[in-house]
Structures are given as structure tokens and as C-alpha cells.
Copies of this chain bind each other. A is one copy, B any other.
């Protein structure tokens, strides 16, 4: 029997880049991985988690924590989450974010998946940044979606290009298939760039201008996964703080700013999307582990989370500085890069002739030198209008050991200097 029983979705689902990058890293413990988006090991809140879990399981709340909960999530965690985002957005008094439309998920990744399922049929169109988070491109490919890439400037997407693409889609009669714009709005994966509040607002206004021609709402999926990993005191407000809450799906996470092994994320969604996404989640798993939710709720309520966060931010800032100092020393001047203000990544752009893809001489030479990066081309959506850029590298300082960061950059610098 030759024919497969696999679904179209399964046949469209390629091996995710993240899997083989993670596997290469796990399989070669001596390899210095500047590729994996792992979080910093040294600052994981081991003692905090131990205390919280011990107290939780010693308390009357311990038993319910080991029992099933509800699909939408623990009431206290939903409340604390809504209040936290509201406060970060600068609202001190009025209730802006409703816990009733806050959904707890297994990492923000699950929210991206659920949202895509809830909004998109095969053949639908999603706008993404150029470049964007490669696992999201895996989701769109798996669902048979078309992506249109919006150019980026240093403070986020190019609004003129967004308008141009929307106008093209309108002319081509394709707007009815456009469902959303996906933005990684804080310290973007892979570029490290943050979209300004003004730009998010303007992007939403543009989307709304085209809704009549689309015949349905066009949503903004704001992936704020890196929001709390900032190195500076000031926090860019989220677009959610505006009157656009009926069009914004906000994805946040406690994985990166607390414990990636606990995998608790969340979404704040327009009511009609909340209902659809929560129903689909009911079929996925009828709720994220209650034990993990209680861990996070208690860490938030006790102040352990708030106390840990600045330590973590300083730690990542130091690791970022370690990386950029090494880059300054070892990379040829022709490689361009920017000082990150948060997140986990430095985006390095080689001259166009220096290709960086998996099969390139550069990637293979780096691997031989024992250093791994994410080839930039993985972060670009398919776009028939242009060749996928392939001369960039995503360099992560998140998971690598302190000493390995300059060592890895030095090795990579040697490969780059060799030309």
C-alpha cells in the first residue's frame, strides 16, 4: 500500500526548524548553540518554584491544584493576568482588560495555534512582518495559508508598505481572504525590534479602513512574548490599551519571564474570538495543567514573580552586552547589527553575497567550528514577489552559557572573516 492516510494538514506540515535546531543542540552538547530560543538556565527561579510548590501543596489549595480545572483557566490567574497587562499599559484605576476574555494557555505558542485555527481556512491570507517568528510560519504553512510579508523599519513595520499591500489585495479582490496581521511587537523574534505604540495604532486604523472591502473584521494578533524581557525601565504600551480591544488578540506568556519549563501563557481576546478559541481549546486539552497555573498564580500573588523579574532582566542585559561586545571585537565591519533593548536575540546582517542558509559554506563552516545560529532565511515567509533574503543570522544570547557567548561569537567571527 503506497498511499498515505495522512490529512492534507499533516502533509503540509514540514519538520519544524525549531525541532532540528533543538535536536542538533541536545545531540551535540559541545556545540555552542546561539540558535535555540532557550531561556537562561542560571536565572531560572528554582528556589522560588520550590517554595511556592511546597507551600501550595501543604495548603488546602494543594488538592484542587492536582485536580482538573476549567478550560479557560484558573479564575485567580486570569484576574491577576488581566490586572498585570492593564497595569503595564498604564491604566491604574479603570478596569480595562476583562478577566472574562483572558484565556490561560500552554505557552503563548498554543494561543497562536488556536487563533490560527479559529480564524483561518486553507487559502486564507495572513500578513506577517518580514522577517518574522519562524514557528508561526510553520503554523501558517501547516494550515495551507498564504502569507504576505510587510517590510520592517527600525521601529516596526513599514506603514506605507502595509497600506500598499492592503491596496493590492483589495484590487485583486483578495481582501475577503485576509484574516489578520501578526506582529511580534516587543523585541521581535528575530530582529529584536519593538513596534512603537503609534505604529501599532496606525496599523490598526489601516486594517479597519479595509474591513468594508474585506466584508469581515481584520484582526491584529499581537505576540508580546518578549515584552517583559526588557533591559530598560520604560515599557512601550500595548495597542490593547486603546479602543481597539475588539480587534486585538494579545498573546502573552509567563514562560520566558519566569520558567519556560512551566509553559503557562495567556491571551486577551475580543469576546467573539475568545468564545471560539476557548471552545477549540476544550477539544485540545480542556484546560492547561492546574498545577502549573497555581504555581504562576502564587508566584504572582506573593510577589515572587515581581521580585524575580528585574534579576532576570539584568541577567539578559548582561548576556546581550557580552554578545554585542564580542561581535564588536570579532565580526567584520561589513556585518550590520543593532544593540538589543530586550528579548533574546541579536540580528546580524551580512552583505548580500554572504549566504547564511543551512547549505551555505558559512553555516557548514560554523558548524565545523562548533557554533550554531538560526539562518535568517528561515524567518522569511514565502513571497512570490521576491527571493527570500538569505544573508542574515539570528544569534540568541538567551540559552548559551556566559563563557560560551564570546567563544561562540569569536568562532563565528573567524568564519565570517575567512570570507
Contacts and interface: CB of A to CB of B under 8 A. Distances in A.
A356 B159 CA distance: 58
Interface in A105-155: 106-107, 109-110, 113, 117-121, 124, 135, 138-139, 142
Contacts of A26: 70
Interface stretch (A182-190, A281-289, A379-387): A281-289
Given A8-B121, A110-B285, A217-B1, A67 B39 contact: yes
A369 interface: no
Q: How large is the interface on A (under 10, 10 to 19, 20 to 34, 35 or more residues)?
A: 35 or more
A14 B53 contact: no
B63 A44 contact: yes
Given A54-B54, A70-B22, A279-B19, A261 B106 contact: no
A216 B283 contact: no
Interface string A40-56: 01001111011001100
Nearest to A25: B70
Given A10-B119, A66-B45, A142-B280, A5 B57 contact: no
- This chain's copy number in the assembly: 2
A292 B335 CA distance: 42
Contacts of A7: 117-121, 124
A215 interface: yes
Interface string A12-36: 0111101100110010000000001
Nearest to A58: B50
Interface in A265-321: 272, 276, 278-280, 282-292
Given A117-B9, A263-B288, A289-B292, A66 B54 contact: no
B289 A262 contact: yes
A1 B215 contact: yes
